Amino acid sequence: MDASTGDDLVGMANAVLQPGFVGKEPPPWVRRRLAEGLGGVVLFARNVVDRDQVAELTAALRAERPDVIVAIDEEAGDVTRIDAHNGSPWPGNLALGAVDDTALTREVACHIGRDLASVGITFDYAPDADVNSDPNNPVIGSRAFGAEPERVARHTAAWVTGLQEAGVAACAKHFPGHGNTSVDSHLDVPIIKAGRAELDATELVPFRAAIAAGVQAVMSAHLRVPALDPDLPATLSGRIMTGLLRDELGFQGLIVTDGIEMRAISDRFGLAHATVLALAAGADAICVGGDHADEDTANLLRDAIVAAVRSGELPESRLADAAARVARLAAWSTAKRAGAAAPLDPKAAALGLSAARRALRITAPDAAFPLAGPAYVIEFQPELNFAIAPETPWGLLAPLAELVPGTSGVRLSSEEGLPDALQSSLGRPLLLVVRDPHRYPWITDALRASLAVRPDAVVVEMGVPAAPKGDLHIATFGATAASGRAVAELLAGR
């Protein structure tokens, strides 16, 4: 044993953790751990009231450690934390990919970065660089820029560039690609069956682009890719994290894990052992706290790291290298914060709405708007994936009712109330609002039954438009507040 097996070893173990916590201000245990060397924290929707409160929270964190990394999972689409209570004012990745204007994507990302920087956030777990090649993907979908590798690559690079221009570190995820699966890694282990040639031609293309654009971080995926490693999921695989990402692709920035408590790895390996294996494989920072947001979990992971070094399971040099990469990202962020921050643009909200309008696609381009009077809206509520904060609003009824008085409707989570809803719609324009109906048989059936009764209904798809239905179909490519407002304005003749 050398000197670093004492307080220095504990400090390095603290440095590589990025835990979440409960509350609108830092709890005592987080303050104490920052003083002991905790490298960063991650904020969730539960930590957010408004921007003034977040700014106070991050200032309190920096009072304990000035260079603390403050991370957030802000994709500024269907997955949003900073705007979880109101919905994102941006259209999201799939809509930006549909517009396919990389200058717009870069500008949007720069505004997002300025927004985050203004409240003291330095690290964003975004953009999503996955190629959503499986339309039945339950966890990516509208979070991706699309299903074509080159389109995803150019917008990933633009997003990275824009965000980092604003002084916030970007993080391309989920390496080596989570788009070609129908399994959610929050629940089980997805398997990517593609061979190496297909991976090179599809999944890896956006990550190469992100690295070329200077992305500061890459997030690992909790999935198996037998062509790369027949035994271990990517997060725990040295062949993938070090051999592929570091050595072959040449990435020298920070590797952060996806939430280490996700069942894809925690069910088999446990939190503590998965943490040790991830660091040994090449990860530099451990994200935890979506579910296990408490001091006991942070202590468990810290102690497991220290014990693994002392037992020889985790080389001390690997832990030191990981802690050093965390420190380099912290230094990059500190330097950016010390520079002259660009002021927030008051036109940013207008830009988000404009981008959402540009993304709208209508199957009957000669359709006449506005609607003939107040509409009746039926929104079909699917089971949302775990990455979306459950309190995040979506839909068309609320924004349309603001613009067209007398508009009313209902949200259904099953077919049970559909006959009554259709009866209520008679004599009024009917809008059927769906998200990924191709993934939910009950919504597909309900949509078919609704169109049989009301073939004049307008179908508004606020997810991945894999199988358009209806004579008049409007695709928004996302269910953000901006997307809802954009389609409401269209229907209201604005």
Residues labelled catalytic: 186, 258
- Bridge-based pairing of strands 472-475 and 361-362 is antiparallel
Sheet with 171-175, side-by-side order of all strands:
171-175, 217-220, 254-256
Enclosing H/E stretch for 69: strand 69-72
Q: Where are the beta strands (DSSP E) in 13-61?
A: 17-19, 40-43
Using the 8-state DSSP alphabet, how is residue 262 labeled? Answer: S
Length of the chain, in residues: 494
Query: What are the structure tokens assigned to 493, written together?
Result: 């003749």
Backbone phi, then psi, for 376, in 5-degree steps?
Answer: -110, 130
Cα–Cα distance, 157 to 208 (Å, whole number):
9
Query: What are the structure tokens assigned to 221, written together?
Result: 């995926």
Backbone phi, then psi, for 119, in 5-degree steps?
Answer: -110, 15
How far is residue 233 from each of residues 39, 202, 236, 432, measured CA to CA in Å? 25, 19, 6, 40
* Coil, helix or strand at residue 125: coil
What residues are paired with 425 via a beta bridge? none
